[in-house]
Amino acid sequence: MTYRRAGQADAKVQATFGKTDYEVADDYGATIRTHVIDFLILADELGHEPQASDVIVADGRKYEVMDLAGEGAWRWSDPYRTTFRIHTKDIGADT
Band (pLDDT 50/70/90 cuts) for residue 80 is very high
- In this predicted model, what pLDDT tens digit does every residue of 20-78 receive, in sequence order? 888 878 888 898 888 889 999 999 999 999 999 999 999 999 999 999 877 899 999 99
pTM, 2 dp? 0.86
Of 1-5, 65-69, 80-84, the one with minimum mean pLDDT is 65-69
pLDDT for 20:
85
Cα gap 79→61, rounded to integer Å: 30
Contacts 24+ apart (CB under 8 A), 19-24: 20/68, 20/71, 20/85, 20/87, 22/68, 22/69, 22/71, 24/69
Write out the DSSP string of 6-19. TTS--EE---EEEE
Number of domains in the chain: 1
Helices (H) and strands (E) in the chain, counts: 1, 8
Domain around 79:
2-93
The predicted pLDDT at position 93 comes to 96
pLDDT of 84 > 90? The answer is: yes
